[in-house]
């Protein structure tokens, strides 16, 4: 981070003001921790046999792909002032549908079967997202209760689809989506970035993003301004379901098995965490897709680091919970006022930069 | 004698008399439409009992009813806890995970040779601590209740996994197991005995205390008032911050109590214990007539809600044709129906 001090003051303060700056700092901090444990951690080499890049960094970006997908959906939902707790379960349903289809498909291994499986899984995911959307937008239920029902019922649905089994299937094109490489990089990551760019272009090059944010700030006012919040909400929940479906395909594709009770389990926290790390307030009204991607990368790094340090992977939720509590605290007015009061004598406008505990350390070079 | 001659006093004081059930029902609804879901829950429970008795038999007997209470004592306690939280307009998603942590920690401490009575106190205290953290986050740092308790859910489950990921067994001679022993109250013919466990007695005490606190004390009225309108309650000078933290502490503490009851019955604790119980508790509360937006609801309604869910499980098991995987879907479906019912009822009131 020290190298950036050479870039000039305005550029630096601009960067620090970016909501996801501290996410990037945290990623580097975690990587540094890994390097301390194993100096060759960051090494990325080219496998001469097949031209793939191999290394821990490649593993991290590959693992981040499903998280990026659900984080993007969650960012849009949270921007409307809602929440989608069902993303993990929709991942399981999507995985269950695709695995069951591939298992029963006559010509296993063909690209056609892959396309059909993916299409079917995405349709089912979109339908589940639409159910959430209808309940929230047209029936007027609180988002967390509609999606909580879907979170638990969805996992039940996944179990019903596979008959309670962990269905395995084999289909090379399908597996290629999750495990394959293109120009040396994992296909999943490229696919995730492609989808992010498409979603980003759609919401930011049209008024859609603005309308989503307006709905999140004040649904009544936005309706009076001529926006139709109901249709917009429905769309957002469908998109979230659809992206969770993509994430489900990605995560079952790596092992070609759906584990109905583990696939996507507790991923809703990852999604919320990624979005909050990315600088989106849980109160809604604004979103940052770039921030969500940074958040997802941070979570993937955190996952790998915890494993690398030899802590049981089932304990990772505890660490994530602590991170989310700290982030929520930093967002709260009370904590911000503590910082402002303590710092007013030294700097005139530190509210933005004080949004992290590490700010004291980082402001010294500036 | 005098009552018979004054019809006015009958309609006012003895609802089941002369004017009949329909009149009583209509009057209750016109004065308090929010009672409709609770009435619906009672009717559904009765209907389920009748349906089960007719279709499968052996439902309406001491044996089945005792088992229903014994197997759902922890759920009743959770439903009572959730009632407090939902009445203030909040939610607690951490109850299932708190049970997992509290059970695993309790059994491990017990196995390590700690005094069992101290262990029981600690199990309840662990729950209280999680509840306190949620409460402070929500009240003093303005974190939304479902986010704060979701974080506690992951924290508790993560810590439970950190302790152990395999089933931890309570030793057979541990005094904690006594809470799960079955005591025969009425020795009926054949297997038709009325049986209770100390766990059921604890659950009953929790229900009674909660009933008194919610419906007869100043704290209870403050809980209802916060659910009605938090700012008005504040303006009235009622202790809003204290009460709001208190409901989450109550919820966490009762989760600890539920952990004791459940662990003593099963004798086994694992980090995956209690997955989805938050939905069961919310469903029981909502089925029992507590409005998710807060302000309206009854403790006894939540107990009925918990029994409806318990009986549903019994019927699914008896039926045999419904796959156990369907249980969460059915629970979710029932919850959804009741939330929709609430929507209709509360819209009518507006």
Of B142, B155, B339, the CB nearest to A321: B155
pLDDT at A357 (0 to 100): 42
Residue A232 has pLDDT above 50, yes or no: yes
B241 shares contact with chain A (CB less than 8 Å): no
Residue A210 phi/psi, 5° resolution? Answer: -65, -40
Q: Which residue of B has its CA nearest to A319?
A: B155
Average pLDDT in the B169-195 region? 79
Q: What integer pLDDT is reported at residue A365 of this predicted model?
A: 42
Give the closest residue to B151 by CA, choosing from A183, A269, A46. A269
- B6 CB-near residues (< 8 Å, 6+ apart): none
Query: What is A230-273 written as a DSSP string?
Result: HHHHHHHHHHHHHHHHHHHHHHHHHHTB--TTTTTTTHHHHHHH
In this prediction the ipTM stands at 0.80
Residue A312's pLDDT band (cuts 50, 70, 90): confident
Q: Which residue of B has its CA nearest to A311?
A: B162
What backbone torsions phi and psi does residue A55 show, to the nearest 5 degrees? 150, 170
Count of A-B CB contacts under 8 Å? 124
Mutate to test the interface with A, among B335, B336, B342 (most CBs of A within 10 A): B336
How confident is the model at residue A189, as a pLDDT?
92
CB pair distance less than 8 Å for A272 and B147 = yes
Q: Which carries the bigger pLDDT value, residue B150 or residue A110?
A: B150
**pLDDT 10s digits, A160-186:** 998 888 888 888 888 888 888 888 788
Looking at the predicted structure, is the pLDDT value of residue B2 above 50? no
Q: Please give the structure tokens belonging to residue B206.
A: 């929790």
**Would you call A328 and B137 a contact, using CB atoms and an 8 Å cutoff?**
yes
Neighbours of B283 (CB within 10 A): 28
8 Å CB contact of B325 and A160: yes
Instruction: Tell me the nearest-neighbour CA distance from A160 into chain B, angstroms.
Output: 6
The answer on pLDDT for B167 being more than 60 is yes
Is the CB of B148 inside 8 Å of chain A's CB atoms?
yes
Chain A, nearest residue to B155 by Cα: A318
Confidence of residue A19 (pLDDT cuts 50, 70, 90): low
**Main-chain phi, psi angles of B187, to 5 degrees:** -90, 90
pLDDT band of B8, cuts 50, 70, 90: very low
Closest chain A C-alpha to B275 CA, distance in angstroms: 10
Confidence band for B12, pLDDT divided at 50, 70 and 90: very low
The pLDDT of residue B273 is above 70: yes
Q: Please spell the DSSP secondary structure of A35-72, one letter per residue.
A: HHH-TTTT-EEEETTTTEEEEHHHHHHHHHHHHHHHHH
How sure is the predictor about B155, in pLDDT bands with cuts at 50, 70 and 90? Answer: very high
User: Which one has a higher pLDDT value, A336 or A194?
Assistant: A194
Kindly write down the DSSP assignment for every residue of B31-83, as one continuous string: H-GGGHHHHHHHHHHHHHHHHHHHHT---SSHHHHHHHHHHHHHHHHHHHHHH
**Residues of chain A neighbouring B148 (CB-CB closer than 8 A):** 325, 328
CA distance B6 to chain A (A): 46
B-chain residues near A314 (CB < 8 A): 158, 161, 165, 271
Q: How far apart are CA A206 and CA A340, in angstroms?
A: 37
pLDDT at A3 (0 to 100)? 45
pLDDT tens per residue, range B38-96: 888 888 899 999 998 888 878 888 888 888 999 999 999 999 999 999 999 999 999 99
Q: What is the pLDDT of residue A86?
A: 93
pLDDT digits (tens, 9 = 90+) for B220-272: 999 999 998 899 999 999 999 999 999 999 999 999 999 999 999 988 898 88
DSSP SS3 for B269: strand
Average pLDDT, chain A: 83
| CA triple B202-B203-B204, angle to 5 deg | 90
Least confident of A13-17, A29-33, A212-216: A13-17
Q: Using CB atoms and an 8 Å cut-off, which of residues 318-347 of chain B contact chain A? A: 323-329, 331-333, 335-336, 339-340, 343
Of A157, A266, A328, the CB nearest to B147: A328
B186, containing H or E segment: strand B183-186
Query: What is the predicted pLDDT for the residue at B147?
Result: 87
Averaged confidence pLDDT in chain B: 86
Q: Cα B265 to the chain's mean position, in Å?
A: 18
Rounded to an integer, the average pLDDT of A116-140 is: 93
Q: What's the rounded mean pLDDT across residues B299-317?
A: 91
Q: For residue B293, is pLDDT > 60?
A: yes
Q: Answer yes or no: do A321 and B151 touch at CB < 8 A.
A: yes
More reliable by pLDDT, A193 or B36: A193
> Which pLDDT does position A364 carry in this prediction?
39
Question: Residue A347's pLDDT is what?
Answer: 52
Chain B 124-143, CB below 8 Å of chain A: which residues? 137, 140-143
Rounded to two decimals, the pTM is 0.83
pLDDT at B21 exceeding the cut of 80: no
Lowest mean pLDDT among A43-52, B279-288, B301-310, B334-343: A43-52
For B109-136, the pLDDT digits (tens) are: 999 988 989 999 999 999 999 999 999 9
* B328 vs A152, A164, A329: nearest CB: A152
């Amino acid at each position: 981070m020290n190298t950036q001090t050479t870039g000039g003051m305005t550029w630096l303060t601009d960067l620090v003001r970016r909501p996801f700056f501290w996410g990037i700092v945290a990623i580097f901090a975690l990587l540094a921790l890994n390097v301390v444990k194993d100096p060759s951690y960051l090494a990325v080499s080219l496998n001469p046999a097949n031209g793939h890049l191999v290394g821990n960094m490649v593993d991290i970006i590959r693992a981040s792909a499903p998280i990026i997908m659900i984080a993007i959906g969650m960012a849009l939902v949270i921007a409307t002032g809602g929440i989608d707790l069902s993303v993990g379960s929709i991942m399981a349903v999507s995985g269950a549908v695709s695995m069951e289809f591939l298992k029963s498909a006559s010509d296993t291994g063909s690209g056609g079967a892959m396309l059909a499986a993916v299409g079917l899984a995405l349709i089912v995911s979109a339908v589940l997202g639409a159910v959430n959307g209808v309940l929230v937008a047209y029936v007027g239920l609180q988002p967390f209760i509609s999606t909580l029902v879907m979170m638990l019922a969805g996992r039940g649905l996944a179990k019903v689809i596979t008959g309670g089994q962990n269905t395995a299937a084999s289909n090379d094109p399908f597996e290629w989506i999750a495990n394959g490489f293109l120009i040396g990089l994992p296909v999943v990551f490229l696919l995730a970035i492609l989808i992010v760019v498409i979603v980003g272009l759609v919401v930011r090059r049209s008024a859609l993003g603005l309308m989503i944010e307006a709905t999140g700030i004040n649904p009544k006012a936005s309706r009076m301004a001529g926006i139709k919040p109901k249709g917009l909400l429905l769309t957002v929940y469908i998109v979230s379901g659809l992206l969770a479906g993509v994430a489900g395909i990605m995560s079952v594709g790596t092992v070609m098995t759906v584990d109905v009770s583990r696939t996507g389990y507790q991923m809703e926290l990852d999604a919320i965490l990624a979005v909050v790390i990315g600088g989106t307030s849980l109160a809604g009204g604004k979103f940052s897709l770039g921030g969500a991607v940074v958040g997802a990368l941070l979570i993937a790094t955190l996952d790998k680091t915890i494993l690398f340090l030899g802590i049981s992977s089932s304990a990772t939720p505890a660490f994530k919970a602590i991170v989310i509590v700290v982030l929520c605290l930093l967002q709260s007015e009370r904590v911000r006022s503590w910082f402002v009061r303590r710092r007013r004598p030294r700097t005139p406008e530190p509210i933005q930069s004080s949004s992290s505990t590490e700010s004291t350390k980082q402001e010294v070079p500036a | 004698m005098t009552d018979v001659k004054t019809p006015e006093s009958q309609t006012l004081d003895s609802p089941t008399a002369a004017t009949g059930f329909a009149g009583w029902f209509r009057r209750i609804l016109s004065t308090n439409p929010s009672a409709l879901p609770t009435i619906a829950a009672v009717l559904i429970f009765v209907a389920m009992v009748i349906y089960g008795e007719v279709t499968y038999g052996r439902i309406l007997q001491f044996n089945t009813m005792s088992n229903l209470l014994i197997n759902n004592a922890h759920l009743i306690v959770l439903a009572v806890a959730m009632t407090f939280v939902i009445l203030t307009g909040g939610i607690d998603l951490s109850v299932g995970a708190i049970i997992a942590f509290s059970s695993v920690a309790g059994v491990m401490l017990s196995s390590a040779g700690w005094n069992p009575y101290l262990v029981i106190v600690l199990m309840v205290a662990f729950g209280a601590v999680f509840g306190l953290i949620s409460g402070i986050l929500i009240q003093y740092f303005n974190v939304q209740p479902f986010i704060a308790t979701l974080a506690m859910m992951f924290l508790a489950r993560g810590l439970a996994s950190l302790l152990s990921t395999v089933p931890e067994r309570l030793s057979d001679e541990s005094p904690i197991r006594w809470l799960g022993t079955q005591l025969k109250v009425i020795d009926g013919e054949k297997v038709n005995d009325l049986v209770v466990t100390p766990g059921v007695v604890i659950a009953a005490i929790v229900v009674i205390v909660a009933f008194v606190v919610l419906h007869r004390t100043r704290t209870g009225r403050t809980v209802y008032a916060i659910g009605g309108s938090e700012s008005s309650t504040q303006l009235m000078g009622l202790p809003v911050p204290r009460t709001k933290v208190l409901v989450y502490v109550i919820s966490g503490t009762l989760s600890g109590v539920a952990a004791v009851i459940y662990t003593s019955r099963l004798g086994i604790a694992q980090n995956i214990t209690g997955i989805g119980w938050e939905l069961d508790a919310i469903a029981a509360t909502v089925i029992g007539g507590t409005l998710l937006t807060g302000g309206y609801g009854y403790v006894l309604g939540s107990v009925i809600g918990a029994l409806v869910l318990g009986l549903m499980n019994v019927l699914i098991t008896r039926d045999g044709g419904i796959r156990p995987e369907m249980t969460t879907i059915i629970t979710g479906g029932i919850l959804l129906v009741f939330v929709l019912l609430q929507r209709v009822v509360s819209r009518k009131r507006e």
